[in-house]
Each structure stands twice: as C-alpha cells, then as structure tokens.
Amino acid sequence: MKKIQLAEDLQFSQIIHGHWRLAEWNLSPEELLSLMERCIEAGITTFDHADIYGNYMCEELFGQALKLKPSLRDKIQIVTKCGIKLVSEKRPSHTIKSYDTSKEHIISSAENSLQKMNTDYVDVLLIHRPDPFMDPVETAEAFRTLRKDGKVRHFGVSNFSPAQMEMLQREFDGPLVTNQIELSVLHEQPFFDGTVNHLQKEKVKPMAWSPLAGGRLFKGEDEKSQKVKRALEKIAEETEASSIDVVAYAWLLNHPAQIMPIVGSGKMERIQSAVDAANITLSREQWFYILQESMGKDVD
C-alpha cells in the first residue's frame, strides 16, 4: 500500500477506512478489532472518525475495540473531526443544529474524542464543516493548545473552499495537512471549482469522502449514475478490473493530486476493491471518458 506524506512526521495509507457507518455494521468489539486487523494486513492503517458519527456513538465503539489490543495504537493513524453540533439526546444542551469552532468547543470535543476512543492523542483533528460564524484566530488558538498538550498531532479541515482554508491557515502556525472533500466519479465538481487545484498548489493531499457516492453508484437509478456505471463497466473490461468499484477507486488513485479515498463499507471483500485499485493504471483517455460520462458532455 502506498503511503502518503501529509507532513514531515505524518504518513497515511493511501486507502483510508471510514467509520461513519460503523454503528450500522453491528459488530462486537472483537469483530471490529478483527476487521481493523484485516485492514492493517491489507495496508490500510488510517481510520476516519468524527465526534458525531452514529449519533455520537462510533468513537466509543472504536474505543472498545482498541481497548482489546492497545498495542494497535502505534500501528495506526486516527483522524477525527469536530465543529458540528447535532440535536441529540446525547447532547441535551444542543437546541438547534449548528456549527461551533470556538476554542472551548474544539478543546472539549477533542478531549471527549480521546476519552471515547481510548487513546492519548489523535493524529489529525479536522474542522468538519466551514463555520459561517468562525473566528479563525480563536480556532487557531485551540489548535495550538491541543498541540502543546500533546493531544492532537496535526490539524486539517473538511468541506472547506480554498478561501476558507486560507483564512484559517493564515492564523495557524502549523500546516493544515488535508481538506477532506466529497470527490468521486459521481461528484467531479471539485476538479473544476478550484478546490483540487488549490490543494495541489499548496501541496496538501485531499481525502475523498463517499468515493462510491455513498453506494449511489450501485443503486442509483438517475441518468448520471446509470451512465457512469456503464462507463465503469466498459473500463473494467478494458483494464481487466474485477468490478466497477475498483475502477471508481482507480479513477481517484490515478490522479496526480495524491487523493486518499475513504472507504465506507464494513465488508472486507468490498474494502479489498480499493486496495486492488492500486494495480489499475488508467490511460488519460480512459480517465477522461469516465469524466465525460459523469459531466454528461465532453470537455469544452
């Protein structure tokens, strides 16, 4: 598995396992541990979380698995996020869905994540969504405090525009190591709206969420999904890829921006498709053919 260098002292596996849907997988701590070990054997060492996943439950499920084998901690990288406040019985003080990037909220959310996940530190903490009420000076202050206390090693953002990322970067003396964005064969806009270009310019590596469009690639009955599915089938045949998801991952992995797809399935054979995709080289024509079918027209 290729490693991606995000900072001098930080490497991710290019394929990341996402735990957003973890609560739906109905795994015991032992079963989750076993799944994580199989991922690690396949080279996937980076795991993606957020405080809110599974209605504030997923970090705890992950922590229960990690507690069974604490020695795993040194072999993996943990990403988590904060900044979204859900209305939930788990958070009675939240009366409205909102964003909070204040120093107080970031620090308390990160500390809570550490406790739930049974770890002393996370490798990367992301601000989950751009906050229209953000004071970047205060957010950067929270980052510095967490870094000084050894609780978070690095910081990044998610779903940020280039301008939003630059605003925060200007106030923070460490690198923002990633922008986790939606990117897939069914969501190609970030290649055109400046998001990917900005990351390439800054040499920041993107994490791609919903790389299979959350399953829409298989179940979607809309015209775009159908067209892209047919295109992927054609390219799968040409490249002898075993299935269309392999080609969808390869489309991201072949791009020069060093994109890191976050796999959302809890089934090892489906996770394996992302690993297999590293062996598929797409020609420029094949890459553009998938893009064309996604855009519904050829490039201008």
Ligand X SMILES: NC(=O)c1ccc[n+]([C@@H]2O[C@H](COP(=O)([O-])OP(=O)(O)OC[C@H]3O[C@@H](n4cnc5c(N)ncnc54)[C@H](OP(=O)(O)O)[C@@H]3O)[C@@H](O)[C@H]2O)c1
CA 19 centroid distance within chain: 9
* Residue 157 C-beta: closest distance to ligand X, Å: 9
When the beta carbons of 80 and 119 are compared against ligand X, the nearer one is 80
| Total residues at interface with ligand X (CB under 6 A) | 24
* Residue 179 C-beta: closest distance to ligand X, Å: 10
Identify residues 224-263 at the interface with ligand X (CB under 6 A): 245, 262-263
SS3 state at 129? coil
When the beta carbons of 100 and 141 are compared against ligand X, the nearer one is 100
Cα dist from 232 to 74, 134, 227, 240, 245, whole Å = 38, 41, 9, 11, 8
When the beta carbons of 57 and 144 are compared against ligand X, the nearer one is 57
> Residue 39 in contact with residue 267, Cβ under 8 Å?
no
Query: Burial letters for 239-258: b for 16+ Cβ neighbours within 10 Å, e otherwise?
Result: bebeebbbbbbbbbbbbebb
Among 127, 211, 272, 277, the residue binding ligand X under the rule CB under 6 A is 211
Segment (H or E) for 286: helix 284-295
Say whether residue 296 binds ligand X (CB under 6 A).
no
> Residue 155 in contact with residue 186, Cβ under 8 Å?
no
Q: Residue 241 corresponds to which tokens in the numbers above? A: 């890829």
Provide the β-strand partners of residue 127.
Answer: 82, 157
When the beta carbons of 131 and 245 are compared against ligand X, the nearer one is 245
* Residue 127 C-beta: closest distance to ligand X, Å: 10
Say whether residue 12 binds ligand X (CB under 6 A).
no
Residue 249 annotated as catalytic:
no
For residues 105 and 235, what is the distance between their CA atoms, to the nearest angstrom? 47
Among 13, 102, 179, 180, the residue binding ligand X under the rule CB under 6 A is 180
Say whether residue 212 binds ligand X (CB under 6 A).
yes
Say whether residue 38 binds ligand X (CB under 6 A).
no
Where along the sequence are the contacts to ligand X (CB under 6 A)?
18-21, 48, 158-159, 180, 209-215, 218, 245, 262-267, 270
Catalytic residue positions, numbered: 53
